[in-house]
C-alpha cells in the first residue's frame, strides 16, 4: 500500500539543487507574505528554538507514514545543514549543541568552549543581554548536553552537577525537565557533594515544581519582577512518551506552553529552547516505536509553539535536529512498502519488553506480541531468545515489521533538515552549516553574538 512520503523528499531535492548561500548574509526579503510564510523584514521579538535530538529526513518520512498525514513542520521546510564537529566528521550532542548555540565548532564532548578552551557566548545569552527572558525545556535531564550548550561552559558534558551549578547562577528564567539528582546533595540521594541547588534556586527567586499538576498551577510567575520557574519532574530523565501515562510528569507540549506563558510576560520578548531529547535515545536503541511516539510528542510541542507564533505575529519558530541517530531508513528489504503506521499499536519500549523476559526467554513471543499487536514467526522468537542484547533484537523485529531500517546504533553524519515559521523565516533557506543558525538568529534579533 502506498504511503505518502513525497513532500520532504521533493523539497529536500529542491533545496540541495539550489546554490549554497551563507545563511547569515543579508538577503532580499519576501515582501507581503504575512507572518506564516516567510514574511519579509517583520520584527522578531521572540525565538522558540526547537531541537528534536537525533532527528533527520528519514525520521520525518517515517513519521508521516506513522501519522498518516503531513507533520505540522512539513509545510515549513527551508533548507538543510551539515553537522560535523571540530574534531570529528560525526558530531556528538555537546559539540552540535555548542555549534547551534554559539556559532562555533568545538570538539565532541565539550560544551560552551572552543577547541582551545575559551568560553563562548550563546544566542540565548545575547538575547538576555538585549533584555529578553529565557528558558530551557527538555525531556532528558535538564543538565544534558543540548540544553546545557545554551548556558554552560564545561570541558566534559558528563559534569552535569557543574552544569546545574552554572544554571542556578545564570540569568535563565525557566528550567523544565528531568534531573533532580543533579541539583540535590548526596545526603538527599543526589549527585552534588553538599550543595542543595533546589534550595538555592528557591532562595534566588525560583518557584519549584515537581509534578504536572504543580507546573500547570505555576504559570502566574512574573518574570518582569524577577520571578523564575524551575521544574524537575524526575530524579533522572523523564519517561519515554510510550510510558508517560504511568507518571505524574508533564508532556513536552505542556512544558512548552507553560514556558511560553511565563516568558511572554516580558515586554522585551523571550528566547526559549525546547528539546525533544529522547528521539535520539530511541535511535541509539533502534527502537522505531519509541522514536515515532517521541516525535509525536515533539510535534505537539511544535504545534503549541506555532499556534502561539500565529497569534503573536512577532515570534519565529525554528525546528532542526542536532544530528541523525541510528541511520534510520524509510523502508527496508526489497520494495517491501512502508508500514510505520503499525507502530501506533506498540505500547512499550524494547527495553521495557526485554525487562519482562524470564531467565530463558521462553516467554519472548508472549511478551512481544502483548505489547506490539504483532504475530511473531518462530525465527523471530529465536532471534530474540539467542541475542546477546534482547532489547535490540526485539527492536529489530518490530522495525522489520514496520519496514524501518537502521544502519547504526550511534550518530551519523547525515545532513539535517531545518524548518522555520514566522517573521523572517525565509532567511533559513538554502544549504549551510549548523553554526550558521545562531548567526542568523543574531542577525534577525540584531543582537551581538561575539565569538
Q: Is the domain defined by 14-168+268-328+409-445 classed in CATH 3.40.720.10?
A: yes
Q: What is the pLDDT of residue 38?
A: 59
Flag whether pLDDT at 16 surpasses 70: no
Q: What distance in Å separates the CA atoms of residue 263 and residue 272, rounded to the nearest whole number?
A: 8
Maximum average pLDDT range among 7-11, 12-16, 71-75, 215-219: 71-75
User: What pLDDT digit, counting tens, does each position of 300-336 carry?
Assistant: 999 999 999 999 999 999 999 999 999 999 999 766 7
Give the per-residue pLDDT at 219.
79
pLDDT at residue 448 in the model = 93
pLDDT at residue 377, as a whole number: 98
Residues in the chain: 451
Q: How far apart are CA 203 and CA 372, in angstroms?
A: 48
What is the rounded average pLDDT of the residues 14-19? Answer: 37
Average predicted confidence (pLDDT) for the chain: 92
For position 39, what pLDDT does the model report? 59
Q: How confident is the model at residue 31 (pLDDT cuts 50, 70, 90)?
A: very low
Determine the pLDDT at residue 41. 67
Evaluate if residue 37 carries a pLDDT over 60: no
Mean pLDDT of 4-12: 43
pLDDT at 145 over 70: yes
450 confidence band (pLDDT: 50, 70, 90): confident
* pLDDT tens sequence across 365-384: 999 999 999 999 999 999 99
Residue spans of the domains in the chain: they are: 14-168+268-328+409-445, 340-401
Section 275-288 average pLDDT: 98
Catalytic entry in 56, 61, 85, 93 = 93
Contact (CB, 8 A) for 102 and 94: no
pLDDT on residue 85:
98
Q: Give the confidence band of 40 by pLDDT, cuts at 50, 70, 90.
A: low
pLDDT at 333: 77
* Number of Cβ within a 10 Å radius of residue 10: 11
In this predicted structure, the answer to whether residue 28 has a pLDDT above a threshold of 70 is no
Under DSSP, the state recorded for 154 is: B
Give me the residues paired with residue 82 across strands.
433
Comparing 409 with 32, the larger pLDDT belongs to: 409
- Whether the per-residue pLDDT at 446 is higher than 60: the answer is yes
Burial 417-434 (b: 16+ CB within 10 A, else e): bbbbbbbbbbbbbbbbbb
Instruction: Give mean pLDDT, residues 99-105.
Output: 98
pLDDT of residue 15: 39
User: Residues 258, 215: contact at Cβ < 8 Å?
Assistant: yes
For the question of residue 93 being annotated catalytic, the response is yes
> Which parts of 203-306 are beta strand (E)?
206-209, 228-232, 270-276
Amino acid at each position: 500500500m502506498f504511503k505518502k512520503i513525497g513532500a520532504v523528499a521533493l523539497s529536500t531535492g529542491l533545496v540541495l539543487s539550489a546554490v549554497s548561500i551563507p545563511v547569515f548574509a543579508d538577503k532580499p526579503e519576501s515582501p507581503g507574505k504575512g507572518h506564516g510564510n516567510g514574511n519579509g523584514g517583520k520584527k522578531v521579538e521572540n525565538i522558540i528554538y526547537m531541537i528534536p535530538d537525533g532527528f533527520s529526513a528519514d525520521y520525518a518520512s517515517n513519521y508521516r507514514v506513522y501519522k498518516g498525514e503531513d507533520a505540522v513542520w512539513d509545510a515549513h521546510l527551508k533548507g538543510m545543514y551539515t553537522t560535523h564537529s571540530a574534531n570529528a566528521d560525526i558530531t556528538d550532542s555537546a559539540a552540535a549543541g555548542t555549534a547551534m548555540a554559539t556559532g562555533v565548532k568545538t570538539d565532541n564532548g565539550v560544551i560552551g568552549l572552543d577547541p582551545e578552551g575559551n568560553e563562548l557566548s550563546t544566542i540565548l545569552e545575547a538575547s538576555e543581554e538585549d533584555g529578553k527572558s529565557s528558558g530551557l525545556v527538555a525531556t532528558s535531564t535538564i543538565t544534558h548536553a543540548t540544553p546545557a550548550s545554551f548556558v554552560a561552559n564545561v570541558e566534559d558534558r558528563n559534569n552535569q552537577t557543574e552544569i546545574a551549578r552554572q544554571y542556578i547562577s545564570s540569568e535563565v528564567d525557566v528550567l523544565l525537565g528531568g534531573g533532580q539528582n543533579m541539583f540535590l546533595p548526596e545526603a538527599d540521594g543526589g549527585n552534588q557533594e553538599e550543595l542543595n541547588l533546589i534550595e538555592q534556586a528557591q532562595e534566588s527567586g525560583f518557584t519549584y515544581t515537581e509534578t504536572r499538576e504543580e507546573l500547570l498551577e505555576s504559570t502566574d510567575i512574573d518574570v518582569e519582577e524577577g520571578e523564575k520557574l524551575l521544574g524537575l519532574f524526575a530524579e533522572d530523565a523523564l519517561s519515554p512518551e510510550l510510558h508517560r501515562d504511568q507518571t505524574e510528569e508533564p508532556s513536552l507540549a505542556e512544558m512548552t506552553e507553560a514556558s511560553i506563558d511565563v516568558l511572554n510576560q516580558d515586554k522585551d520578548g523571550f528566547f526559549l529552547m525546547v528539546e525533544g531529547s529522547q528521539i535520539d535515545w530511541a535511535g541509539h536503541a533502534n527502537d522505531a516505536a519509541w522514536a515515532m511516539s517521541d516525535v509525536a510528542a515533539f510535534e505537539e510541542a511544535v504545534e503549541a509553539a506555532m499556534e502561539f507564533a500565529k497569534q503573536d505575529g512577532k515570534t519565529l519558530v525554528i525546528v532542526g535536529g542536532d544530528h541523525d541517530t541510528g541511520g534510520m531508513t524509510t523502508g527496508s528489504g526489497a520494495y517491501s512498502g512502508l508500514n510505520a503506521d503499525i507502530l501506533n499499536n506498540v505500547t512499550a519500549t524494547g527495553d521495557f519488553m526485554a525487562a519482562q523476559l524470564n531467565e530463558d526467554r521462553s516467554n519472548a513471543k508472549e511478551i512481544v506480541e502483548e505489547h506490539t499487536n504483532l504475530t511473531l514467526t518462530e525465527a523471530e522468537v529465536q532471534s530474540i531468545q539467542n541475542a546477546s542484547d534482547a532489547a535490540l533484537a526485539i527492536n529489530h523485529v518490530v522495525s522489520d515489521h514496520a519496514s524501518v531500517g537502521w544502519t547504526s546504533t550511534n550518530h551519523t553524519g547525515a545532513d539535517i533538515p531545518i524548518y522555520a515559521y514566522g517573521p523572517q523565516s525565509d532567511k533559513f533557506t538554502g544549504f549551510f552549516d549548523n553554526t550558521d543558525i545562531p548567526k542568523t538568529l543574531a542577525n534577525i534579533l540584531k543582537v551581538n553574538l561575539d565569538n
